[in-house]
Amino acid sequence: MVWVMTKTAQRPTLAEIREWPATVSVTSAALALNVSRAHLYQQISQEAAPVRTLKVGNRISVVTSSILAILEEQP
Protein backbone atom coordinates (compact mmCIF):
# COMPACT_ATOMS: atom_id res chain seq x y z
CA MET A 1 0.00 0.00 0.00
CA VAL A 2 1.29 3.46 -0.90
CA TRP A 3 0.54 6.37 1.42
CA VAL A 4 -0.08 9.52 -0.56
CA MET A 5 -1.10 12.74 1.11
CA THR A 6 -2.73 15.62 -0.71
CA LYS A 7 -3.32 19.23 0.27
CA THR A 8 -6.82 18.26 1.38
CA ALA A 9 -5.71 15.26 3.41
CA GLN A 10 -6.76 15.16 7.04
CA ARG A 11 -4.34 14.50 9.85
CA PRO A 12 -4.19 10.73 10.40
CA THR A 13 -5.22 9.21 13.70
CA LEU A 14 -2.75 7.41 15.92
CA ALA A 15 -4.46 4.12 15.05
CA GLU A 16 -3.99 4.83 11.33
CA ILE A 17 -0.32 5.71 11.79
CA ARG A 18 0.24 2.41 13.64
CA GLU A 19 -0.84 0.65 10.42
CA TRP A 20 1.59 2.56 8.20
CA PRO A 21 4.60 0.81 6.64
CA ALA A 22 8.01 0.98 8.34
CA THR A 23 8.91 4.20 6.50
CA VAL A 24 6.79 6.96 4.98
CA SER A 25 7.35 10.10 2.96
CA VAL A 26 8.30 13.40 4.53
CA THR A 27 4.90 14.72 3.41
CA SER A 28 3.06 11.99 5.32
CA ALA A 29 5.24 12.48 8.40
CA ALA A 30 4.67 16.24 8.37
CA LEU A 31 0.92 15.71 8.21
CA ALA A 32 1.04 13.27 11.12
CA LEU A 33 3.14 15.69 13.18
CA ASN A 34 0.94 18.65 12.24
CA VAL A 35 3.80 20.68 10.75
CA SER A 36 4.38 21.89 7.22
CA ARG A 37 6.30 19.76 4.79
CA ALA A 38 8.75 22.64 4.23
CA HIS A 39 9.37 22.96 7.97
CA LEU A 40 10.11 19.25 8.34
CA TYR A 41 12.44 19.28 5.32
CA GLN A 42 14.24 22.27 6.84
CA GLN A 43 14.65 20.44 10.16
CA ILE A 44 15.94 17.36 8.35
CA SER A 45 18.49 19.40 6.37
CA GLN A 46 19.70 21.02 9.61
CA GLU A 47 19.85 17.62 11.32
CA ALA A 48 17.36 18.91 13.90
CA ALA A 49 14.36 16.77 12.97
CA PRO A 50 12.61 15.03 15.85
CA VAL A 51 12.21 11.92 13.70
CA ARG A 52 14.63 9.36 12.30
CA THR A 53 15.15 9.50 8.57
CA LEU A 54 16.69 7.28 5.93
CA LYS A 55 18.21 8.67 2.77
CA VAL A 56 18.62 6.50 -0.29
CA GLY A 57 19.92 8.48 -3.21
CA ASN A 58 17.92 11.70 -3.28
CA ARG A 59 14.90 10.23 -1.53
CA ILE A 60 14.28 10.81 2.18
CA SER A 61 11.97 8.54 4.15
CA VAL A 62 10.85 8.94 7.74
CA VAL A 63 10.86 5.97 10.11
CA THR A 64 7.28 5.45 11.26
CA SER A 65 8.24 4.23 14.73
CA SER A 66 9.92 7.59 15.39
CA ILE A 67 6.66 9.38 14.53
CA LEU A 68 4.77 7.09 16.89
CA ALA A 69 7.28 7.69 19.68
CA ILE A 70 6.63 11.44 19.49
CA LEU A 71 2.88 11.16 19.27
CA GLU A 72 2.57 8.59 22.04
CA GLU A 73 4.49 10.90 24.42
CA GLN A 74 1.98 13.71 24.02
CA PRO A 75 -0.76 13.94 26.66
Contacts of 28 (CB under 8 A, 6+ apart): 3, 5, 12, 20, 62
For residue 50, being part of any structural domain is answered with yes
9 compared with 49, residue with greater pLDDT: 49
Short-list 19, 11, 24, CA closest to 60: 24
For residue 29, being part of any structural domain is answered with yes
> What per-residue confidence (pLDDT) applies to 9?
74
> What per-residue confidence (pLDDT) applies to 67?
97
For residue 64, being part of any structural domain is answered with yes
Region 8-31: mean pLDDT is 93
**What residues make up the domain containing 69?**
21-73
Contact 40, 48 (CB under 8 A): no
Q: Is the pLDDT reported for residue 5 higher than 80?
A: no
For residue 16, being part of any structural domain is answered with no
Q: Residue 8: which pLDDT band, with cuts at 50, 70 and 90?
A: low
For residue 9, being part of any structural domain is answered with no
For residue 33, being part of any structural domain is answered with yes
For residue 59, being part of any structural domain is answered with yes
Q: Total structural domains in the chain?
A: 1
Q: Residue 54: which pLDDT band, with cuts at 50, 70 and 90?
A: very high
